[in-house]
């Protein structure tokens, strides 16, 4: 799932390439993707793109005061297209959800892979009208240490869940929370409200460091790799069974019904593997 660094890189790309252009038309290919009807999608046509920004993991294209807000969900992405075909796409076929044509013949496609469709598009007069945007906590890149400490202390649940709860802190998902906890040398199962002062400081520093690094990589490579979501520099996320780049221990996994987390036992849990029935079979 695209998280803060990926969505910010998309916004930066759109600021350079779409702002100043006029929307020629928007073709909806996946009817279920659009969640609003007033103003209609067609209201964007003829209006100039005046800005592109991000609210947590939501992308916000400002079109002369109307906002095209996008949540990419698990497998959504934005593909920049040069020289779009004039013929409208066939609805309901393939990954295409929405195509936006700009007046210079370029534009972008919003796509979503897989059968579980979660990509959401909203046309609103204010981003705050979008469900989810109105309830976002402070942005993970902006939150200061005191506020961060207060948020963690308010949360009687596991720190992994606290970091990824968008109403508490906006922008972090499954991948970067694994990375942040690894850098902070904290177990994902540690209770957020039981963190010591030094642990909160480490965690806040790790949030900054991991997101800033990822953002720099994403923005640096965006022109070349806007073809698909690509991440590099991950140390534990999606690296089950591989050596931890810090200590050499084997990265382990805890799997849940429809997600999983990765961590390094030596760096994060005092060498002790976290309980996971499926993994203990694999690693026996």
The nearer residue to Zn ion, 70 or 267, going by C-beta atoms, is: 267
Q: Minimal distance in Å, beta carbon 81 to Zn ion?
A: 42
Q: Which residue is nearest to Zn ion (CB)?
A: 244
Which of 1-33 are b and which e, b meaning 16 or more Cβ less than 10 Å from the residue's Cβ?
Answer: bbbbbbbbbbbbbbeebbeebbbbbbbbbbeeb
Q: Which range, of 81-89, 128-136, 211-219, 247-255, touches Zn ion by CB under 5 A? A: 247-255
Chain centroid to CA 229? 10
The nearer residue to Zn ion, 209 or 246, going by C-beta atoms, is: 246
Query: Which letter does DSSP use for residue 31 in this model?
Result: G
The nearer residue to Zn ion, 155 or 182, going by C-beta atoms, is: 182
The nearer residue to Zn ion, 68 or 244, going by C-beta atoms, is: 244
The nearer residue to Zn ion, 255 or 266, going by C-beta atoms, is: 266
- Partner residues linked to 58 by β-bridges: 55, 71
Q: Which single residue is written with the structure tokens 């199962």?
A: 189
Using CB under 5 A, pick the residue from 68, 78, 151, 267 that binds Zn ion. Answer: 267
Query: Which letter does DSSP use for residue 168 in this model?
Result: T
Q: In sequence order, what are the residues at sequence separation of 6 or more whose Cβ sits closer than 8 angstroms to the Cβ of residue 179?
A: 210, 214, 234, 235, 236, 237
Using CB under 5 A, pick the residue from 66, 209, 246, 274 that binds Zn ion. Answer: 246
The count of chain residues that interact with Zn ion, using the rule CB under 5 A, is 7
Using CB under 5 A, pick the residue from 242, 247, 282, 283 that binds Zn ion. Answer: 247
Q: Which single residue is written with the structure tokens 């400002």?
A: 62
Q: Which range, of 122-130, 168-176, 197-205, 238-246, touches Zn ion by CB under 5 A? A: 238-246
Radius of gyration for the alpha carbons in the chain, expressed in angstroms and rounded = 20
Under rule CB under 5 A, residue 266 binds Zn ion? yes
Q: Please, how many CA atoms are within 13 Å of residue 128, restricted to the half-sphere of its CB?
A: 1
Q: In sequence order, what are the residues at sequence separation of 6 or more whose Cβ sits closer than 8 angstroms to the Cβ of residue 82?
A: 105, 106
Using CB under 5 A, pick the residue from 24, 100, 244, 254 that binds Zn ion. Answer: 244
Q: Minimal distance in Å, beta carbon 252 to Zn ion?
A: 10
Give dist(CA 228, CA 79) in Å, integer: 7
Using CB under 5 A, pick the residue from 252, 264, 269, 279 that binds Zn ion. Answer: 264
The nearer residue to Zn ion, 55 or 239, going by C-beta atoms, is: 239
In the structure encoding, which two tokens stand for residue 61, read together? 């294209």
Give dist(CA 187, CA 160) in Å, integer: 8
Under rule CB under 5 A, residue 10 binds Zn ion? no
List binders of Zn ion among 197-216 (CB under 5 A). none
Give dist(CA 108, CA 96) in Å, integer: 11
Under rule CB under 5 A, residue 223 binds Zn ion? no
Residues that bind Zn ion (CB under 5 A): 244, 246-247, 249, 264, 266-267
């Amino acid at each position: 799932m695209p998280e803060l660094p990926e969505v910010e890189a998309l916004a930066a790309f759109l600021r350079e390439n779409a702002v100043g252009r006029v929307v020629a038309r928007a073709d909806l290919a996946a009817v279920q993707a659009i969640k609003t009807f007033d103003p209609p999608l067609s209201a964007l046509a003829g209006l100039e793109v005046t800005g592109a920004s991000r609210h947590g993991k939501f992308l916000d294209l400002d079109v002369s005061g109307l906002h095209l807000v996008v949540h990419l969900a698990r497998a959504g992405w934005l593909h920049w297209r040069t020289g779009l075909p004039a013929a409208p796409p066939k609805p309901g076929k393939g990954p295409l959800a929405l195509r936006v044509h700009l007046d210079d013949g370029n534009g972008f496609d919003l796509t979503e892979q897989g059968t579980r469709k979660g990509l959401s598009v909203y046309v609103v007069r204010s981003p705050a009208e979008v469900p989810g945007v109105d309830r976002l906590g402070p942005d993970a890149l902006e939150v200061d240490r005191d506020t961060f400490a207060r948020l963690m202390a308010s949360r009687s649940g596991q720190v992994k869940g606290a970091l990824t709860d968008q109403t508490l802190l906006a922008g972090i998902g499954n991948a970067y929370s694994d990375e942040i906890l690894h850098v902070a040398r904290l177990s994902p199962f540690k209770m957020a409200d039981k963190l010591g002062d030094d642990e909160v400081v480490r965690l806040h520093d790790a949030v900054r460091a991991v997101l800033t690094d990822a953002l720099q990589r994403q923005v640096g490579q965006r022109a070349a790799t806007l073809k698909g979501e690509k991440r590099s520099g991950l140390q534990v996320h999606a690296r089950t069974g591989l050596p931890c780049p810090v200590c050499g221990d084997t990265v382990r996994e805890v799997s849940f019904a429809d997600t999983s987390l990765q961590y390094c036992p030596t760096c994060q849990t005092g060498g002790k593997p976290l309980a996971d029935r499926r993994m203990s079979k694999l690693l026996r």
